[in-house]
Amino acid sequence: MKHNFGAGPCILPQEVFKEASQAVVDFNGLSILEISHRSPDFVKVMEEARENVKKALNVPNGYTVLYLQGGASLGFLISAMNLAGKHKKAGYINTGAWSTKAIKEAKNAGLEVVEVASSADKNFSYIPEFDVPSDIDFLHYTSNNTISGTQFKSIPDTDVPLVCDMSSDIFSKEIDVSKFDLIYAGAQKNLGPAGATLYIVKDSVLGNSSLENIPTYLDLETHAKKDSMFNTPPVFSVYVANLNLKHLLANGGVKAIQELNEKKAELLYNEIDQNPNFEGTTSVKDRSLMNVTFRLTDESKKEAFDKLWNDANIVGLKGHRSVGGYRASMYNALKIESVEALVNVLKSL
Amino acid sequence: MKHNFGAGPCILPQEVFKEASQAVVDFNGLSILEISHRSPDFVKVMEEARENVKKALNVPNGYTVLYLQGGASLGFLISAMNLAGKHKKAGYINTGAWSTKAIKEAKNAGLEVVEVASSADKNFSYIPEFDVPSDIDFLHYTSNNTISGTQFKSIPDTDVPLVCDMSSDIFSKEIDVSKFDLIYAGAQKNLGPAGATLYIVKDSVLGNSSLENIPTYLDLETHAKKDSMFNTPPVFSVYVANLNLKHLLANGGVKAIQELNEKKAELLYNEIDQNPNFEGTTSVKDRSLMNVTFRLTDESKKEAFDKLWNDANIVGLKGHRSVGGYRASMYNALKIESVEALVNVLKSL
């Protein structure tokens, strides 16, 4: 068995892979890939997949759950277009490559952007302090930064509508959805296969953009009115996301997985901190529980270390080119045994 | 075994379903769903999937093949934005619901739209004649109309750049790609699972829109520059599309499948024409080889007919609500034995 520390897509429980595999050859007598998205069988899958998001995150009344396409990259644009208000101006906390791209798309949507804070000065290795201006339509942030390995430890306290790209830590810990006007997330970390993008939108947002002529697909109201079936959805991705959500709910839900994720992170960060061969690359207080970035204190040991983890059946440990070193991504489905295997490798260097 | 006459998504060869199913549990030691899209294994899949489109359709030099997301519904917008030229005006042939939606998105993109021709007067039951004005940036048409069951039998002859939504008949017959500036197609008919959208774009189009600030994801140049990996692609859909393309190429390619599709269509249309219980719903000369629409001449026989085809393990035969009656979709992967089974049912009424 391989220990998959890859940054995604998309480690999922083995039980989910098995059931998904079976459905590709037989889902009520057809392949899940060849059933109509308008068939009662799939309509039920879509309904469950939306409902199970609400269950898993205790989504309060007054929110709509949608599965669209295009990833967070299209979400940057969709969020800005749909949340545009009377100021046509938005605040962005810039904590890395994804925030930077989100800012670019808000500008492409025609909004003025205030960069409320940025950690670009130190290669995005920390979460910056910030004050939120009042004359903005919304505040946008990236809850977890896969590349640099930082994560917000609390939800920004603000009176303006809050928008969050939660692609890489949604379902990894409990969150208070009521604080958000919009949450969006590419599925391919803790939810399901690449190809679906989750939106959790406050109903009061729908249809209230100040922009004229939002293209149909980019208008969240389009999809809300059609129960997330305005056009052919990414059938298989939604089906597998639902399998994964059912598995999560049957195993203690987000509360239980949060405890496990905290244990996994503690195990690895403790080893990095006490092992003189390694050092973390981010501010300690802002360390991500999902993506652990670290490097060798002595680069001459690289070959030996790389051989050790390769021999231990560990995959996906290479750091992103903009940070260097190593990155251990520890999404929900990564077992603690895999973290123990990695810690043993670190100890053995 | 069920005979799947559904309008999609997405009947594919059983061999493809089997190989796809296997890859969900084991693709070089991991699930295909959990491998990084930047891994050499998947980069190779994406390269092959793009190259095999070129092979299957004899795409000439000077074109780029891309797999994006969002379906044709987003393609309506992307095509208009990228093809906008000095006139900021485009011609559309309106042959049904999909063309109508395409027109709406061209307007949302800020273009003036000339409806060059329309068959709305007869519920889109035929392909209209048209003259193409010269002062437009491009001419757009929908090559096959899944809902009404009509299909263009030849490529419109024009000097202006030609754009085609080929969602429901691409890969079903040979086409001269050199006549087009842009072809786009939702994957979920003859290519692969819902969630991927194919673009075949002439390189001279890239970066030459007259619109300013095209959002990043909607700009085809973005994706062309990144070899169709600007952001996380719909990994599984692309993987299965490639399996299907390999299967197509290994079995005589588009030329062979075209012959089979013509035989299948002849078989069914002949029966409809000679059987007094049934009548086609479209103009005979414009009949689709992919979606055969027909109805009972005597509605009182509905219950008997519905029982017959249900008993014969036929699924997906219900007509679209806007046309009524029946629709037999006969995509590439539908075997001629399934058409024979349906013809036998028609005969037995």
What tens digit of pLDDT does each residue of B175-213 get?
999 999 999 999 999 999 999 999 999 999 999 999 998
Residues 6+ apart with CB under 8 A from B109: A215, B77, B80, B81, B84, B211
We report the CATH number of the domain holding residue A84 as: 3.40.640.10
User: Which run of H or E residues covers position B326?
Assistant: strand B326-329
Whether B43 and chain A come into contact, CB under 8 Å, resolves to no
Q: Burial, A129: exposed, middle or buried (Cβ in 10 Å; 0-12, 13-18, 19+)?
A: exposed
A293 and A234 within one domain: no
The average pLDDT across B243-249 equals 98
Residue A329: phi and psi, rounded to 5, are -85, 130
B326 and B244 within one domain: no
Quick one: pLDDT at residue A53?
98
Whether A219 and chain B come into contact, CB under 8 Å, resolves to no
A223 and A74 within one domain: yes
The answer to whether the Cα torsion of B265, B49, A188, A335 is positive or negative is positive
A306 catalytic, yes or no? no
User: Which run of H or E residues covers position A142?
Assistant: strand A139-142
Question: How confident is the prediction for chain B on average, in pLDDT?
Answer: 97
A326 and A234 within one domain: no
With a CB-CB cutoff of 8 Å, which residues 144-183 of chain A face chain B?
none
A189 catalytic, yes or no? yes
> Which member of A165, A169, A181, A219 is catalytic?
A165
**Residue A1 domain-assigned?**
no
- Partner-chain residue, chosen from A39, A110, A194, that has the shortest CB–CB distance to B232: A194
Quick one: pLDDT at residue A9?
87
* Amino acid (1-letter code) at residue A287: R
Quick one: pLDDT at residue B10?
86
Minimum CA–CA partner of A77 in chain B = B215
Instruction: Classify the phi-psi angles of B326: left when phi > 0, otherwise alpha if psi is within -120 to 50, otherwise beta.
Output: beta
**Residue B8 domain-assigned?**
no
Residue A148: phi and psi, rounded to 5, are -85, -20
Minimum CA–CA partner of B333 in chain A = A34
The answer to whether B101 contacts A214, with C-beta atoms less than 8 Å apart, is no
Which residues on A lie below 8 Å from B193 (Cβ)? 33, 235-236
- Partner-chain residue, chosen from A77, A232, A240, that has the shortest CB–CB distance to B217: A77
B335 and B210 within one domain: no
The answer to whether B237 contacts A195, with C-beta atoms less than 8 Å apart, is yes
Minimum CA–CA partner of A42 in chain B = B9
**Residue B138 domain-assigned?**
yes
B245 and B291 within one domain: no
Active site residues of B: 98, 165, 189
B131 and B56 within one domain: yes
Which position has the higher pLDDT, B39 or A1? B39
**Residue B261 domain-assigned?**
yes
**Residue B5 domain-assigned?**
no
Quick one: pLDDT at residue B14?
96
Distance of CA A142 to the CA centre of its chain: 9
A129 and A35 within one domain: yes
Quick one: pLDDT at residue B169?
97
Quick check: A229 and A50 in contact, CB under 8 A? no
Quick one: pLDDT at residue A10?
86
The answer to whether A6 contacts B35, with C-beta atoms less than 8 Å apart, is yes
Is pLDDT above 90 for B117? yes
We report the CATH number of the domain holding residue A257 as: 3.90.1150.10
A273 and A175 within one domain: no
Closest CA to B98 of B119, B81, B114: B119
Quick one: pLDDT at residue B9?
87
The answer to whether B17 contacts A25, with C-beta atoms less than 8 Å apart, is yes
Quick one: pLDDT at residue A213?
87
Each residue's pLDDT tens digit, B281-317: 999 999 999 999 999 999 999 999 999 999 999 999 9
**Residue A5 domain-assigned?**
no
pLDDT tens for chain A, residues 1 to 349: 899 999 988 899 999 999 999 999 999 999 999 999 999 999 999 999 999 999 999 999 999 999 999 999 999 999 999 999 999 999 999 999 999 999 999 999 999 999 999 999 999 999 999 999 999 999 999 999 999 999 999 999 999 999 999 999 999 999 999 999 999 999 999 999 999 999 999 999 999 999 998 999 999 999 999 999 999 999 999 999 999 999 999 999 999 999 999 999 999 999 999 999 999 999 999 999 999 999 999 999 999 999 999 999 999 999 998 899 999 999 999 999 999 999 999 999 9
* Segment A162-165 long-range contacts (CB within 8 Å, at least 24 positions apart): A162/A138, A163/A79, A163/A83, A163/A138, A163/A139, A164/A140, A165/A72, A165/A75, A165/A76, A165/A79, A165/A98, A165/A99, A165/A102, A165/A140, A165/A141
Local structure of residue A129 (DSSP, 8 states): P
Quick check: B303 and B238 in contact, CB under 8 A? no
Quick one: pLDDT at residue B99?
98
Domain edge (last residue) among B211, B234, B250? B250
The average pLDDT across B210-228 equals 96
Closest CA to A68 of A175, A215, A206, A200: A200
Which residues on B lie below 8 Å from A217 (Cβ)? 70, 73-74, 77, 105
Quick one: pLDDT at residue B213?
87
A205 and A60 within one domain: yes
The answer to whether the Cα torsion of B242, B248, B252, B257 is positive or negative is negative
Domain edge (last residue) among B250, B265, B291? B250
Domain edge (last residue) among A226, A250, A274? A250
Q: Which domain holds residue A89?
A: 14-250
How many structural domains comprise chain B?
2
Quick one: pLDDT at residue B4?
95
Quick one: pLDDT at residue A14?
96
- Partner-chain residue, chosen from B21, B71, B104, that has the shortest CB–CB distance to A25: B21
A156 and A41 within one domain: yes
**Residue A237 domain-assigned?**
yes
**Total Cβ atoms within 10 A of residue A187:** 27
> Which member of A189, A202, A246, A264 is catalytic?
A189
**Residue A240 domain-assigned?**
yes
Quick one: pLDDT at residue A103?
98
Quick one: pLDDT at residue B1?
81
The answer to whether A194 contacts B71, with C-beta atoms less than 8 Å apart, is no
A271 and A218 within one domain: no
- Give, in order, the Cα–Cα distances in Å from B20 to each of B56, B155, B170: 20, 34, 22
Strand-pairing partners, residue B163, are B140, B182
